[in-house]
Amino acid sequence: MADAERLLVLVRHGQSEWNLKNLFTGWRDVDLTEQGIAEARAAGRKLKAQGIAFDIAFTSVLKRATRTLDLMLEEMGQKNLPIIKDQALNERDYGDLSGLNKDDARKKWGEEQVHIWRRSYDVAPPNGESLRDTLARTLPYYVQNILPRVLRGERVLVAAHGNSLRALVMVLEKLSPEGILKREIGTGVPIIYRLAADATVAEKKDLAA
């Protein structure tokens, strides 16, 4: 499968219980909903239909990402794939917002302030991380641990979170801080990248449909 060399696939976890309840989740360890389980299984089936098999997978230490990965691999018939878990791939830490309903947070701090925390690049919520902070831990991990494997020709799957994956997408797609804030990453949607030898993207395919 020469065409599968330098393959990197990113998948955001399926819908979580707190996504459904409109709560800030961050590092809180919540599970998938029934819909999230279905999204994870569907992602595995989509990748299998593409004829893709992986050499290794990376994920965060949070249940919603690890379970998504397990369900995908089950659908692909790759349950014995080596998996590396690291908190560098965890979701952005929302600090004092964690566990709060987004509407309640708006009542407490005001619509504008909550919008700034959610959608600015470098403003962190109280005791939490900005998107820039999340990039600062996720990108070095990618460069040191994930990218070298891809460039060696290994086929790598990463199951993580909206904001930790934004860090990788920002680099892969050469997006500005403003551009990455507008980039939505759907739950359970595989994004397939084939990289050139210089680590730039030669081809991208989004399996949202």
Catalytic residues: 13, 91
Let me know how many helices (H) and strands (E) the chain has, helices first: 9, 6
Using CA atoms, how far residue 140 sits from 14, 28, 105, in Å, is 25, 23, 32
Contact 157, 54 (CB under 8 A): yes
Laid out side by side, the sheet with 83-85 consists of: 83-85, 56-59, 155-160, 7-12, 191-195, 201-206
CA distance 135 to 141: 10
3-state secondary structure of 56: strand
Contact 206, 23 (CB under 8 A): no
Contact 72, 54 (CB under 8 A): no
3-state secondary structure of 158: strand
Using CA atoms, how far residue 198 sits from 69, 143, 146, in Å, is 28, 13, 14
